Amino acid sequence: LPFNDLDETEARIRAHADRLACVIVEPVERSYIAPDPEFLKGLREITADHDIPLIFDEVMSGFRVAFGGAQHA
């Protein structure tokens, strides 16, 4: 899925929602590209609408971004 492109991400999720077990995203990419403030929130709403679990892979960002991880930043 294209990072920070909510419209394209939503289109792809909608097209394949019946075959997705989950969506895994790095909230802060390895090159430290910050997410658009609305991207992660919008992604959460889209996945919730389709009953798809959203998993944040925070191996690199973990507690470096915020005490509770990127979802709390």
Note the pLDDT tens digit of each residue in 54-63: 998 876 555 5
Residue of 27 and 7 predicted with greater confidence: 7
Here the tokens at position 22 are 């989950």
Tell if the pTM clears 0.75, that is, is over it. Answer: no
What is the distance between the alpha carbons of residues 67 and 69, in angstroms, rounded to a whole number?
6
Q: What is the pLDDT of residues 15-54, one digit of tens each?
A: 999 999 999 988 766 666 778 879 989 999 999 999 999 9
Quick one: which H or E segment has residue 56? strand 54-56
* Sequence spans of domains, the chain: 6-72
